[in-house]
Amino acid sequence: MLGAGEQRSEVARLLNQITQEYEAAQRGLSGLNQGTAQHEFITARMEHMSELHSQLGEIVGADAATAMVAQTLDQSPL
């Protein structure tokens, strides 16, 4: 079991990774690749975001994880 400080650090790490995956997927929408390659790239980013969200939910609970991700992505510059 993680201590309080370790949990905060893990939550921050997961939120950062989710943000990076989201931004990569957004950039993929406007990238030079088109068709299947672009779709596969974006799908992979979204699937990884889902895995990270699940990990976050194990730490803070499903509802809190969803709220945290929504708030984090709302603050994303993209």
pLDDT at position 38: 83
Model confidence pLDDT, tens digit, residues 19-65: 999 999 888 887 666 677 788 889 999 999 999 999 999 999 999 99
What is the helix, strand, coil percentage profile of the chain, to 5?
80, 0, 20
pLDDT at position 3: 73
Closest CA to 76 of 51, 54, 57, 49: 49
User: Tokens for 25?
Assistant: 């997927």
Buried b (16+ CB within 10 A) or exposed e, 30-51: eeeeeeeeeeebbeebeebbee
Spell out the domain ranges in the chain. Answer: 4-23+35-75
pLDDT at 69 over 80: yes
